[in-house]
Amino acid sequence: MRFAFMLSRMTYAKIENNFPSRMEWLALIAIFLMVGTVGHDPWRNTEPYTFGIIDYFYATHTWLVPVNAGLPFLEKPPLYFWTATIFCRLFGSLLPLHDAARLASVLYMALTTLFTWKISQLFFIQHPDRRTLGWISIALLLGSVGLIRYAHELATDVSLLSGSTIAFYGMALLACRPESWRQAGIWIGLGVGVAFMSKGLLVPGILAIAGLAAWITLPSLHTQKTIKALAVSLIIAAPFFLVWPTLIYLHSPEMFMEWFWENNIGRFVGFSVNRLSGANQPFYFLRIVPWFAFPAFPLACAAAVMGMRTEQRNPAYILPLTISVAGMAVLLISASGREPYLLPLFPPFALLAAPVMLRLPARFLIGWNRAMIVIFTLGSAIVWLAWWNLKQPSGKRPLPWFADFAGQWLPIGYLPADSQQFAIAIAVIIALLWIISFRFPTRSSLSTAYIWFMGAFAVWGTISTLLMPWIDETRSYRHVFAQMREAVHHSSHPHAYIGSYNYNESVSPMFEYFTATPPPAQYGESGNCSFLFAITERNAPQPMGPQWHLLWKGTRPLDEKNEELRLYENL
């Protein structure tokens, strides 16, 4: 008997060794959250104006009015900006300020991952594969195509995702363990408050609609404990909804109306969209969600269909389904629409999809995993090959045709100043983690989730390490403004004030950051300035009078915006 017991333990250990361990999962998640987050300048479109606000808070030690390049920017509440400013104060002496600020995204993504795990352990508590379903949920969330990019950006959408996931956890706690109504109310209130202070009323509205639908559907919520939890959540959320909006109103009623009426109500209903931009197109979100939330969304759709008859009283089915449906419905009728608006729906998609993974036939999993191993290995190898060619001087590239092909997206004449030793080391670690994942059984659902997440990250991570200097060269304004400063230095007025012909919420904060000068005043407000900075399209005619002489013009390499920066000197 003792021998049989030892043999069974050895067999179990052998089986466990053929699956990703907890440490492998945690290491992968940690590396995923960091790689691509630091090591580059603020990138257009979202990062320049987001960092402009953070830099203002950091430099002025103020906290109330978000200001970007000298002008109030009241599109979003300031919670993410505040958090990033705190990280600037903590790590600004160790990292470039924009990298320190971007650590706020690491914090919020870590919270999103943690609370997605906690929701999975509530939903699948009776399931024999509870922990497996938890890891699958995490892999489907972080491995979603759209999340991989936005998780690493300076963007309020990241804290919005975190807040919605925390509120989702509170709702799940109330539905699965009604006796924990106090804790449930606290988490709901905190999550809704964070979501509101991240981006306004949209996601709190979605959660309210989903909560009402869940209350109608789930008998377990038809108790006084639900009312008590709601009361607690209102108390917790009240400071988020009252303090900053009230202070803004007291500071300036016009600013309050700009934020509340124009950027919340107006963007949703549509009367301010033409002025503020970002108009939604018919069925836009239905067109992009299949690939943007891949692979979680297709699996979630399958789960929704399969559970229609048997899961109607199951919180693990109803809660993510109601949030998903309410979210898609609200986004489809919204007058404004952009890709990242979908991010708060990713945790519900992942948690709906996870059980479907366990029901996929072994033959499908084997074929899928083998295909993914080939595709992601080939993708990573192409990145390494592109990097090797780009590192060689012109005329000495081993595959010049390949370098020319990569030149459609990367500046092939550029060579980074440093040796990239640290980036190469990280890329090698990512490659080793990817190769190690080949040992996992291809017929396992858990291994399938890990292989997808690891493979997608292997390609992303290799790009974000080896090719980062070339990507940064095309998406950063640092070198453009360095050229402009050089032109001013050699002009006849090297210390003169620079005015601006027009304002741009992305370019202007980078002017201030990279030139270490105040943002230029608008033309007509700048007095008798010697220079005028203009943002135009390429080959556009001179927008000012004949007294202005074109001193310099420049653009980012391979700029897809048809954008040209110009500096005119007053003769």
Three-state secondary structure string covering 48-79: HHHHHHHHHHHHHCCCCCCEECCEECCCCCCH
Is 287 a residue whose pLDDT tops 50?
A: yes
Domain-located, residue 208: yes
At a CB cut-off of 8 Å and minimum separation 6, what does 551 contact?
487, 488, 491, 531, 567, 568, 569
Hey, which residues does 531 pair with through a beta bridge?
Answer: 498, 569
pLDDT value of position 523: 56
Do 342 and 401 sit in the same domain of this protein? no
Is pLDDT at 9 greater than 60 in this prediction? no
495 and 450 part of one domain: no
Decide which of 306, 335, 358 is a domain's last residue.
358
446 with 297, same domain? no
Peptide bond into 219 cis (omega under 30): no
CA 406/CA 318 separation, integer angstroms? 47
Within 13 Å of residue 289, how many CA atoms lie on the same side as its CB?
25
57 located within any domain = yes
Q: Is the pTM of this model over 0.85?
A: yes
In a domain, 10, yes or no: no
Same domain, 395 and 273: no
Rounded to whole angstroms, how far apart are CA atoms 297 and 302? 9
Asked if the model's pLDDT at residue 6 lies above 50, the reply is no
Contact 551, 529 (CB under 8 A): no
Query: What is the predicted pLDDT for the residue at 15?
Result: 37
pLDDT digits (tens, 9 = 90+) for 356-375: 999 999 999 999 999 999 99
Is 87 a domain residue? yes
pLDDT digits (tens, 9 = 90+) for 292-310: 999 999 999 999 999 988 8
Place of tokens 């200097």: 469
Instruction: Note whether 462 and 511 are same-domain residues.
Output: no
Phi, psi of 568 (to 5 degrees): -105, 140
Residue-by-residue DSSP string for 306-354: HTTTT-TT-HHHHHHHHHHHHHHHHHHH-SB--GGGGGGGHHHHHHHHH
pLDDT for res 16: 43
One-letter amino acid at 127 equals H
Same domain flag for 271 and 343:
yes
Residues ≥6 apart with Cβ < 8 Å to 542: 548, 550, 568
Give me the percent of the chain exceeding a pLDDT of 90.
Answer: 70
Give, to the nearest 10 degrees, the angle between helix 79-91 and helix 97-123.
Answer: 120
pLDDT tens per residue, range 477-515: 999 999 988 888 888 877 777 877 776 788 889 988 998
The tally of domains found in the chain comes to 3
Q: Are the C-beta atoms of 185 and 230 separated by less than 8 Å? A: yes
Domain that holds residue 202: 20-358
Express each pLDDT in 36-48 by its tens digit: 999 999 998 889 9
Contact by Cβ (8 Å): 29, 148: no
User: With 80 as the cut, is the pLDDT of residue 245 above it?
Assistant: yes
d(CA 448, CA 463): 23
Tens of pLDDT, residue by residue over 149-192, are 999 999 999 999 999 999 999 999 999 999 999 999 999 999 99
Residues 500 and 467 in one domain: no
User: Within this chain, do residues 346 and 377 fall inside the same structural domain, yes or no?
Assistant: no
> What pLDDT does residue 538 have?
84
Q: Are residues 50 and 122 in the same domain?
A: yes
DSSP state of 495: T
The secondary element (H helix, E strand) that includes residue 91 is helix 79-91
- Tens digit of pLDDT for each residue in 66-109? 999 888 999 999 999 999 999 999 999 999 999 999 999 999 99
Q: Tokens in use for 503?
A: 């304002």
Within a domain: 69? yes
> Do 406 and 483 belong together in one domain?
no
Domain boundary among 450, 475, 500: 475
The reply to whether 195 and 105 lie within a common domain is yes
Indicate whether 11 belongs to any domain: no
Query: pLDDT tens across 511-566, in order?
Result: 889 988 777 666 554 456 788 888 888 888 877 777 888 889 988 888 877 888 99
Place of tokens 């081993």: 398
| 6 within a domain of the structure (yes/no) | no
Beta partners for residue 548, in sequence order: 570
- Cβ atoms of 220 and 271 closer than 8 Å: no
User: Could you tell me if 489 and 450 lie in one domain?
Assistant: no
Residues in the chain: 571
**Residue after which a domain boundary falls, among 442, 475, 508:** 475
Are the CB atoms for 458 and 437 separated by under 8 Å? no
pLDDT at res. 521: 64
Residue 171 tokens read as: 């709702």
Measure the CA–CA gap between 188 and 531, rounded to whole angstroms.
53
Element (H, E) at 570: strand 563-570
Q: Does residue 2 lie within any of the structural domains?
A: no
For residue 40, give the H/E element and its range: none
CA distance 41 to 472: 7
What band does 3 get if pLDDT is binned at 50, 70 and 90? very low
Question: Considering only 264-273, 292-301, 347-356, which range has the smallest mean pLDDT?
Answer: 264-273
